[in-house]
A and B are shown apart, each in its own frame.
Chain A
């Protein structure tokens, strides 16, 4: 079987497969569809790996939907950045799917439509990462956003529904702003194809292009939950069932970040760098504010959600550094590090909550004794978030600091180092509590081992990736 045949184009199948298993899961009915999902995701992992190898070796991949070609039709294109995001998405989703299969008991209202919604979510993400058309990107954004809101709200009580509503409004206003930006771009240039726009948007772009860039980025910032637009994230990610929180924190917020980066490096490169320091400033504020809130949080999942707010901040520190190489590498590494670690951490938190029956940090006393694997997973994920070696988080931190020093922006290096210490405080709050002697009265509910080990696999991957940075770094080297 030759991969060059259009029939087996991995690019197309990365979108078709999840759409197919999502629909199948829907037709199969409530709570059904785990196995098609796992089989599909396993195949997708293989496809993404294949694509990443091809792109990493210097190739590119494109798919001209409908055969028309831009600007009339819609093009799909994969460069190093897209390939990296695709790889991360499948690599995180597969263990989470295995996790979720054990997590949702039959009849759990939160799991009724989990599989089809997740399938559409993954399809939306994959479609987003490969799309080279600004309007098509809008549709994928909405697909991802609505699926994510549905997953947050599923089977929840008042707090969860309120969180979902807040999330829905944030995501809708975000994509609304993005859409207006697209409308202005179309008005100014007559096309929404990224490749076609690339040579057209120059330094003397009309004012409308600047407004469009500002609107699109602002909308996407809202969807990425960059400080001070983070208000919706902690209740949504903290309130959802653990597998959903993991998917959302690890992947969904990264999608809009990816899109900002894509616009920044691509069609709007003449316009957006004017906002570089604003982004970094907000990123730094996110690191401090998110960490501070995580340090104060009473609930475990709320703590992890605020940690996401903080960790997303690092991604925005790279924007003033994008003029020189190294920054994208750092960004990709951080996306991977946080994606894997946060998925692992939420998964571990899900186990802890199931076992202790409560979502508080205080309730963890004795967890190391009773659930060593899970706490080990939590610790490994925490290592990555703190940026301790040899984790991938450490490499990301190293790369950001070095890129910052190379360009004389030592302040960014200082923020990264301080952020690592703050992360240590909130991670250790949890570990410390877990290491305490168990109160004699505490009884823990039994938890399926699959849950423990899939959390462990994700967390361990986030650490071990720190030893395989060379391969991964071939991808951002191939950004076009």
Chain B
């Protein structure tokens, strides 16, 4: 086995093996578990960095293994996958740190971190899948490994949220499977390739290919929470905060959005999808989701629920970018995949901090929180402003590219959708900021768990991750045009995808 085969496997193994070991660890071995967690996260980051450097230099990484005659598990590291992998690997480190702080003293931590690691492994597999079959395997593994995390608390409410989550994702998985087998039957393989593979079939298959597209997009659309398949996401926020962060920013919804990218670009090919009239309806669905999510967020008093609806809306920015036929929109969508992750994880970390430190779960309880927890509130504000697309934040970059993409694709209505959504974002985020910063401190917090110690408004492990990601939000926004940013990488991908079909 060459190093080019081993490296993708090592990226998987760097979370899979620690995960399996953690399952077996006695609950009380906190030190060992923490060490393993951090060691794995850092090792993964190192491996991903190696891989990234290689891919940037044009190296090919991949490994194949047949599970049935003619059916292969295949991994590859390409530019598109690396975008997602790098995002996940970095955010995993922060989420792990945060989760260690968040769950201090909580029961079942071995179980939690075990599934946590499996979840990241599945995400890495999704990113590196070289064909739809492999994609599906990791996609379902992701479903399975996140369920125990969602229901982690073991309450009736958690069960209800978890059950709804599973109902949606399993039905979606079934649709996805149907589409994949069908495609495999028609083509004999499901390998991802630049400019797609479906075009190889003659025009007489157009009808079948449309149905398959519907099945595939419905399948991944559940995780991407496209309206009307989004119902699980607000329910799943019963999970502990690090899990919500993971679900919303790193793993689940991102896997869905990433799946849509892969299907449109590398299974059908943008050009071919456009010729089948598939992109326009997709854009409409994305637009409806963007507006509906923002609109529903307005009316949520529960902080995490408001964030959840915000996710519904924001993830479809990515889908919209993909559906805007053209490289500029693609860049906007892809860069938002990263930017949304950084911003949303900041928001969930902060929401978790408010809940863990002061017992604040609702927007209406946020009065004066900024005075008690200035750093957390600052991070929250940066994330929120980013979501609105305020200048200097990462959000502004995504939004600008998306709008340019819409103009280039002559879909002006999409610009209006984005503007309306921004206004709605402001309408549901600004009141929170106003309450936190400008309203007086109440006589008593709902439930104060962690006392202030000097400048440390809450536990250090809870405080640092959101500060880092908030800083990243600003960096990605301000230095967008430099070499080593998500934007630069997204442009590289768009170049490769479109060169793949002969038009830079």
Contact = CB atoms under 8 A, between A and B. Distances in A.
B67 A413 contact: no
Interface in B96-139: 107-108, 111, 136-137
Contact of B159 (A386, A395, A435): A435
A111 B112 CA distance: 39
Contacts of A20: none
Contacts of B162: 432, 435
Interface stretch (B148-156, B355-363, B413-421, B467-475): B148-156
Given A424-B170, A435-B151, A435-B154, A383 B159 contact: no
A389 B140 CA distance: 7
Contacts of A406: 185
A470 B66 contact: yes
Given A369-B108, A436-B159, A466-B67, A413 B144 contact: no
B148 A405 contact: no
Interface string A368-400: 110010001000000100101110001101110
Given A413-B178, A435-B159, A470 B154 contact: no
B177 A417 contact: yes
Nearest to B107: A369
B137 A417 contact: no
A390 B137 contact: yes
B206 interface: no
B67 A469 contact: yes
A395 B174 contact: no
B96 to A, nearest CB: 21
Interface in A209-268: none
Given A389-B141, A401-B181, A437-B155, A470 B166 contact: no
A354 B110 CA distance: 25
B171 interface: yes
B174 A421 contact: yes
Given A399-B68, A435-B154, A469-B68, A388 B181 contact: no
A441 to B, nearest CB: 16
B414 to A, nearest CB: 35
Interface residues of B, number: 36
* Main DSSP-derived SS at the B contact region: helix
Nearest to B155: A437
A90 B399 CA distance: 62
A420 B172 CA distance: 12
A14 B97 CA distance: 56
Contacts of A386: 170
A183 interface: no
B438 to A, nearest CB: 40
B182 interface: yes
Interface residues of A, number: 34
A423 to B, nearest CB: 10
Which one of A383, A388, A389, A470 has the greatest number of beta carbons of chain B within 10 Å?
Answer: A389
A379 to B, nearest CB: 8
Nearest to A366: B154
Nearest to B159: A432
A117 to B, nearest CB: 36
Contacts of B23: 372, 376
Nearest to B185: A405
A467 interface: yes
A457 to B, nearest CB: 15
Given A395-B68, A467-B67, A405 B154 contact: no
B491 interface: no
B4 interface: no
A402 interface: yes
A428 interface: yes
A417 B177 CA distance: 8
B265 to A, nearest CB: 23
A388 B69 contact: no
Interface string B61-96: 000011111010100000000000000000000000
25 contacts: A369-B107, A372-B111, A376-B23, A383-B144, A388-B173, A389-B136, A398-B177, A398-B181, A401-B177, A401-B178, A402-B184, A417-B177, A420-B174, A421-B174, A424-B166, A432-B151, A432-B162, A435-B148, A435-B159, A436-B156, A466-B67, A467-B65, A467-B67, A469-B68, A470-B66
Given A369-B154, A435-B162, A436-B154, 12 more contacts: A372-B111, A389-B140, A390-B73, A398-B177, A399-B68, A401-B177, A413-B181, A432-B162, A432-B163, A435-B151, A467-B65, A470-B67
Interface of B: 23, 65-69, 71, 73, 107-108, 111, 136-137, 140-141, 143-144, 148, 151, 154-156, 159, 162-163, 166, 170-171, 173-174, 177-178, 181-182, 184-185
